[in-house]
């Protein structure tokens, strides 16, 4: 197991190196001049040249890329063009908000998706099976930004049940420890802040969870149907075991292997896909920050943000591979 983990960690290095090359080249060939965006259209040629020199844009591409790798190796992602703050500092300020939103969406999608998938598999071709699969198809096909706007219109604007944007009410004081507002509210026993944080989190988490919920539900149903047809399940039924015990103890454990893969992949995708949700709900996370960086052509922000998402995605996949052996010890990790 330890050797397997070490080998997978070694694979991470060339993977992230390839990602960094792609990100750097895509930014290099994208039209636009960061210096002109920063100084404005009326900037003089001398000031533009000075800004390009300051940003290192006049150096050859391989030199710029080498300097970027050197900064990354020193855990220095550079400074943003617009605020002149370190990219790592801005990421640390906004990353907890994205993690909180992503975790909430994954909890909703995993919990409901697995339950819907199990019930659909055990009641195949029933009205519940058809309804849940139709709902899954609707969830996969529905644009996240459109659903977010609909939820805001109905539950925030018309009914007034939930706030439209932000993470916490403006009249709420919260002592931050981890910058995860829900967790900080529990740690400081600030129940008013906890209620406000959950109310602000509900709509964006629901909007973000629809696509992974649908995928997890369909994958769980498919996997459970395959497992329930195996001979050992028929043997368990012949021995007189209850259907509840057969499904949860014998079938679900083997059926979870592909589901865990999907959940891990969806978690990584949500970290990058939260851009639309954070933009719609004005959620102050990495997604919204990265979107603003793209609009402003802030090279450091785009490079740092994309590299962060790629790193998390790779390590999530590593964790998923390790979970295989934990869920089913018969699986050999080599």
83 in a structural domain? no
- Of all residues in the chain, what percent carry a pLDDT higher than 90? 1
My answer on whether 171 and 293 are in the same domain is: yes
Q: What is the pLDDT of residues 292-320, one digit of tens each?
A: 887 777 777 877 888 887 888 777 777 77
Band of pLDDT at residue 22, cut at 50, 70 and 90: confident
My answer on whether 135 and 271 are in the same domain is: yes
- The pLDDT value recorded for residue 330 is 56
My answer on whether 48 and 154 are in the same domain is: no
Please tell me whether the overall predicted TM-score, pTM, comes out greater than 0.85 for this model: no
Contacts 24+ apart (CB under 8 A), 328-332: 328/253, 328/254, 328/257, 331/257
My answer on whether 55 and 118 are in the same domain is: no
My answer on whether 268 and 211 are in the same domain is: yes
Contact 182, 190 (CB under 8 A): no
> CA nearest 197: which of 83, 301, 100?
100
Band of pLDDT at residue 37, cut at 50, 70 and 90: low
Q: What is the mean pLDDT of the chain?
A: 79
- The pLDDT value recorded for residue 272 is 62
Q: Give the mean model confidence (pLDDT) for residues 157-174.
A: 84
| Res 328 pLDDT > 80 | no
Q: What is the pLDDT of residues 228-265, one digit of tens each?
A: 777 777 777 787 777 777 777 777 777 777 787 788 77
Q: The domain containing residue 50 runs over which residues?
A: 2-73
What total number of domains does the chain contain? 2
* Residue pointed to by tokens 């454990």: 253
- The pLDDT value recorded for residue 53 is 75
> CA nearest 324: which of 248, 284, 264?
264
């Amino acid at each position: 197991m330890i050797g397997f983990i070490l080998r997978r960690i070694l694979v991470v290095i060339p993977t992230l190196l390839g990602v960094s090359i792609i990100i750097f080249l895509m930014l290099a060939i994208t039209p636009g001049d960061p210096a002109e965006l920063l100084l404005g259209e009326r900037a003089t040629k001398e000031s533009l040249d000075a800004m390009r020199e300051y940003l290192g844009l006049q150096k050859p591409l391989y030199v710029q890329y080498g300097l970027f790798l050197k900064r990354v190796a020193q855990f220095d992602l550079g400074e943003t063009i617009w605020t002149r703050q370190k990219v790592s500092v801005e990421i640390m300020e906004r990353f907890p908000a994205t993690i909180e939103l992503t975790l909430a969406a994954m909890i909703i999608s995993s919990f409901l998706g697995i339950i819907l998938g199990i019930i659909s598999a055990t009641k195949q071709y029933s009205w519940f099976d058809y309804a849940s699969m139709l709902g899954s198809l609707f969830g996969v096909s529905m644009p996240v930004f459109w659903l977010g706007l609909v939820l805001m219109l109905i539950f925030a604007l018309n009914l007034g049940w939930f706030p439209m944007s932000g993470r916490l009410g403006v009249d709420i004081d919260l002592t931050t420890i981890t910058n995860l507002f829900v967790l900080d509210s529990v740690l400081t026993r600030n129940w008013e802040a906890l209620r406000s944080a959950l109310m602000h989190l509900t709509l964006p988490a629901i909007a973000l969870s629809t696509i992974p919920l649908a995928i997890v539900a369909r994958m769980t149903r498919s996997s459970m149907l395959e497992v329930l047809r195996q001979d050992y399940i028929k043997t368990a039924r012949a021995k007189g075991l209850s259907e509840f015990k057969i499904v949860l103890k014998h079938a679900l454990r083997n059926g979870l292997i592909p589901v865990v893969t999907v959940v891990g992949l969806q978690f990584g995708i949500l970290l990058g896909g939260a851009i639309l949700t954070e933009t719609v709900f004005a959620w102050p996370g990495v997604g919204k920050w990265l979107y603003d960086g793209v609009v402003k052509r802030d090279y450091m922000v785009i490079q740092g943000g994309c590299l962060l998402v790629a790193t998390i995605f790779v390590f999530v996949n590593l964790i998923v591979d390790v979970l295989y052996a934990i869920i089913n010890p018969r699986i050999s990790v080599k």
